[in-house]
Structure 1
Amino acid sequence: MAAKKSPDPYRFEISLSVLNHLGRNLYRNFVTVLGEAISNSWDANAKNVWIEIDRENSSFSIKDDGDGMDSGDFQGKFLKIGYSKRKSGGSKSSTGRPYIGAKGIGKLALLSCAKRVSVFSKTGGTDYVGGVIDNAGLDGAILGDRSTEEYPLEQLDFSLISELREGHRKGTIIYFEGTNDQLKNSDAYIKKLLALSFKFSLLDEEFTIHVSGDPVTVDDLKPLSDATQFLWSVNGYTDAYIDGLNNLELPVSEVTTPLDIKGFVASVKKPANLKITGTDERATIDLFVNGRLREKNIIRHIPSQRIVESYIYGQIHFDTLDREGTDPFTSSREGIVEDDEKFRSLMDYLKRDLLTKIIDEWDKFRLEVKDEGDDDNTRKSKRDRKAQALVSEAKKDFQPDDDAPTKDIVEEWLTEMQADAEFNTSAYVDCFLSENLVRKYIGHKNLSPIDGIQKEIVKFKEREEKTKQAANISFPIRQISLDLSYLDMDALAFTAEGSKNTNTQSLWGDAIGFKPVRNAVGHTGRLTNVAKNHLNTTFENIKARVRTLLSN
């Protein structure tokens, strides 16, 4: 009996539907799509990437001057889903750039934002090669459960790039037709988001991104940099963006760590300053790997619920997170796998060391420049913080215009008076509350001023009436025109306690000792340090006696 013929070798067959699962539907952010193209250009040793937008025809293009592809590269590398440059070329490009791409599926992002995508590419010694991917046709092929071998790309239409190819010696041009809603955003908007995602973190000063002819630069984030108040530099990090922070109010705080990271954290004057003008985006503390944004707002993993989180932004560069044999990035390439060992070590450091330091120093720095800090920090009492904030705001009403010749000297005066103003503000509140509470107590007990005090009341009323007449005021000044409203603390204490016994501790005795300094505060006098200490000590006695009085 003849031996049965063995069947052909079995083999994997990939359905086109895998393109959806791997990436075509994973990328929702337009800047992320642009980022994939820019990353490919970086890996191809490009020095420039030009993004041209034609909103009238719902199309745009991305062109670079990189190495480009020949026919073999286009078929065997670009169209090979899962092809990784790292497997054949190590971790760096031929010019020494660290590769950003890893899995070989990021190119699928290019299919997510347009109906038709045309890829044109050439090396220095070849003509253009490439093809057209029509998403409608691709959807039909997926519905028909066709394999990748059964879906040939369409031929290129060179009229699409008649202008773009002028002077284009080598590199790649990708043309997008029938785009989605992404192009409704202005060029300025796109430049700002690209600046956040790339420009002020790139590793090569010669690499430039252009949008409609204008380079993306740190100036696209000028409103953010102008509003930056304090800066923490991690392991000596610096770049063009940091060099342009001209409005820092205190020297840079240097942070060192053995962890293989670098970067910076900065804080702005007001939380609203974190909003990127003209966009829906806010600056956050972001994680970069080899110059590319890999996860936004990494401190969301370790929220502290402290007010400083509303003021800070920055970049942490952790290039060794991208390492051979491990893929720490999520499928969408827009985040990090949270249980990655190195990522966990970064989160531990941020929570245990860096954020703890920043939370404390931010409060200290804010108090130094007379701004509101963190009320939960015990460095300064809440009432002292509020007094400082009130005085700081009030000072603005007295500052001359920027072009006034007296601007500098008046600001110097205001700064010199700040501490005294804060003290008197807090002291006056104590005066107001303690004296009015004693008035309330006397009224509640139906106590009447003693005869000697009544004469003082008459005198105060007559004096006030004369000053009103001189000012031509006929309306009431005091909410309550009772006799008690004309008494100061020593007279109020006498009325409340009914005696002036100097042999025992009493509210009246403390009020007598308190009166000269209290009057100086009431008449906006600036106190000596000895007088401030005396007022603080006496006030503690007065408040304790008022509390005792009210408890009866």
Structure 2
Amino acid sequence: MKTDDKFSFEISLSVLNHLGRNLYRSFITVLGEAISNSWDADAPNVWIYVDKEKNSFVIKDDGTGMSKDDFQNKFLKIGYSKRKDGKMESDGGRPFIGKKGIGKLALLSCADKITVISKTEGMKEYVGGVIDNSDLDNAIRHDLTPDKCSLGPWESKIFEKYTDNHEKGTIIHFEQTKENIRNTIPYLKKLIALYFKFSLIDERFDIFVYPEKVTVDDLKDLSKTTEFLWNINGLKDPYIDTLSALEDKPINISNSLNIAGFMATVKKPRYLKITGTGEKAGIDLFVNGRLRERDILKHMPDFSTRHVASYLYGQIHFNELDATPKDDPFTSSRESIVPGDPKYEELLKILKEKILKKISDEWDNLRLSRGEEGDDENPRKTIKERKAASLYNLSSKDYTGESDVEIKNWIKELQPDAEFDIPAYVDCFLSENLIRKYVEENKISLSSEAEKEIRTWQGKEATNKGKGNVSIDIRKRNTGLSYLSMDGLATLVDNVKNDPKKAGLSRDASEYKPIRDALMHTALLTDEAKGKLTSVYENIKGRVKKLLSSDE
């Protein structure tokens, strides 16, 4: 390097401090700024080298690089924008990510000392310098001008292993990061694979966490547990091609808004956690391949609290948010969209009212068709039917293996009846046992007819126990009332059988009995019988509730 090269920031140091040297709070955001700069420089490759022992890392690219003039008048000029004069793309045709010219402040947020070197094609020597935060702090305290706080000279020794065969591009060395680097190579690869989608725009752009290339295979733990997929406006993404464990064919969603993306659901909510990272996959917003906001469902509290949301992840690509020089929808932290941006509000509205509504309904149907729990808030089935189906599906697993296709079909055929019969049994169990408690508490005497019926059933039970060589007690409460079903119990508490004009529990119980008995014998009921049982039981339930309330 030339030792007489002097470089300094082209901005008041106090303004630099107020702009926010600590503006970027997360390590992945810092990586995002550096990778975005490499993208804007038409780099085919970005290499990330991590040295956990020395608490340092290096980011290197093979982009166009910077001359001495570029380094001083563009890189160190806070606020310099590549988009001046309305230019929106690099010479290689890539949409610019950088806009305001303050992204380089990310470099000041995560390390004590940052060394930047760069060269363009044909240059023999690198240009660059050292940004030392302790020197900046001292200059700011003493209100020095930028020319009195030049960047320090860089040491070629620390770059020796990075400069071999490096014909052009930029290398940044971060020394003594403010947070200890604990991240492993697999950890960083997973986060980069999850949050950087530049290759969807230019497939020749590769990122390496040295020595390994970041690919969609780094998300295989997520892809192999993905159950269903919805593709929005025909997104082409290599990650989608890795979803080999889908339980149904992908569903295509078309929308007039100029977006693309996908949404997918995992088999269980815990599978949204990205193994070994502490991160959780969500619905993320990308603009020109760069993550612009994580977990956009947080803007839809009515939906984000629904059961289906705990299974959902995906990407929305909305490049029109940054399509013209006038567009400026991103917050200064570069981690979210400015509240109230009209294009973003339109996107959220369409997602909530159309796309997510469709997905949640179809997800519920797909899950139920596979014997899995769906969305309890979907009116397709009642809560009782859903809980019954869940119990039925759980129990049915004891009867099937992987190859028992015919038995699985039988079980699936029985499920609609089970969804009706199981709640109906519970209704019967509750109402009859509540009446028994009512009779006991109110010391209601048994009629001669009831005593006769009890003796009949006790005799039959004794005979059956003898045939089965059963000596244990069967009934928990071996009282006479346990041998009476609804019709016998109803006669004790509300007998209107002798008055044909009067409605009462005993008359309803007489209609209820034949269907109730068939239900208790696990018979499959006809649709007419189900309808009759439901209507009669509603009467019974109302009369039992009235009976119990009169006893309070």
Query: Could you say whether these structures have the same fold, taking a TM-score greater than 0.5 normalized by the shorter chain as the test?
Result: yes
C-alpha distance in structure 2 between counterparts of 1:469 and 1:115, whole Å:
87
Task: Pick which of 500-509 and 212-221 moved more.
Answer: 500-509
Q: Could you say which residue in structure 2 is the equivalent of 1:9? A: none
Normalised to the residue count of structure 1, the TM-score between the two structures is 0.89
Q: Could you say which residue in structure 2 is the equivalent of 1:97? A: 94
Letter in 2 for 1:430: D
CA shift, 1:253, in A, is: 3.7
Mapping of 1:42-441 within 5 angstroms?
42-87=39-84, 90-127=87-124, 128-199=126-197, 202-304=200-302, 305-322=305-322, 323-400=324-401, 402=402, 406-441=403-438
CA shift, 1:359, in A, is: 4.0
Alignment root-mean-square deviation, CA: 2.7
3-state DSSP class of the match of 2:301? coil
C-alpha distance in structure 2 between counterparts of 1:162 and 1:469, whole Å:
93
Q: Could you say which residue in structure 1 is the equivalent of 2:446? A: 449
Q: Could you say which residue in structure 2 is the equivalent of 1:32? A: 29
- 1:207-263 deviation line (CA, Å, top 9, x unaligned): 121113222222222232333333333222231122322333344443333222222
Task: Pick which of 459-468 and 97-106 moved more.
Answer: 459-468
3-state DSSP class of the match of 2:170? strand
Are 1:15 and 2:25 counterparts? no
Normalised to the residue count of structure 2, the TM-score between the two structures is 0.89
Letter in 2 for 1:274: L
CA shift, 1:49, in A, is: 1.1
Q: Is the 8 A contact 1:23 1:105 kept in 2?
A: no
Q: Could you say which residue in structure 2 is the equivalent of 1:521? A: 519
Letter in 2 for 1:194: I
C-alpha distance in structure 2 between counterparts of 1:56 and 1:473, whole Å:
73
Task: Pick which of 281-290 and 457-466 moved more.
Answer: 457-466
3-state DSSP class of the match of 1:164? helix
Q: Is the 8 A contact 1:41 1:49 kept in 2?
A: yes
CA shift, 1:318, in A, is: 1.4
Are 1:492 and 2:493 counterparts? no
Q: Is the 8 A contact 2:496 2:504 kept in 1?
A: no
Which of 534, 542, 545 is the aligned partner of 1:536?
534
C-alpha distance in structure 2 between counterparts of 1:441 and 1:231, whole Å:
54
Change (3 A) 1:451 1:381: same
Percent same amino acid among aligned pairs?
Answer: 54
C-alpha distance in structure 1 between counterparts of 2:487 and 2:499, whole Å:
13
- 1:407-463 deviation line (CA, Å, top 9, x unaligned): 434433332322222222111111101211221232233223333432432343344
Change (3 A) 1:513 1:185: same
Q: Is the 8 A contact 2:227 2:246 kept in 1?
A: yes
Q: Could you say which residue in structure 2 is the equivalent of 1:6? A: none
Q: Unaligned regions of 5+ residues in structure 2, if any?
A: 1-8
Q: Is the 8 A contact 2:230 2:250 kept in 1?
A: yes
Change (3 A) 1:541 1:14: closer
Q: Is the 8 A contact 2:200 2:237 kept in 1?
A: no
Q: Unaligned regions of 5+ residues in structure 1, if any?
A: 1-11
CA shift, 1:26, in A, is: 0.4
Change (3 A) 1:19 1:533: same
Q: Is the 8 A contact 1:91 1:98 kept in 2?
A: yes
Task: Pick which of 28-37 and 348-357 moved more.
Answer: 348-357
CA shift, 1:312, in A, is: 2.2
3-state DSSP class of the match of 2:13? coil
Q: Could you say which residue in structure 1 is the equivalent of 2:475? A: 478
3-state DSSP class of the match of 2:488? helix
CA shift, 1:476, in A, is: 4.1
3-state DSSP class of the match of 1:56? coil
Letter in 1 for 2:101: G
3-state DSSP class of the match of 1:345? helix
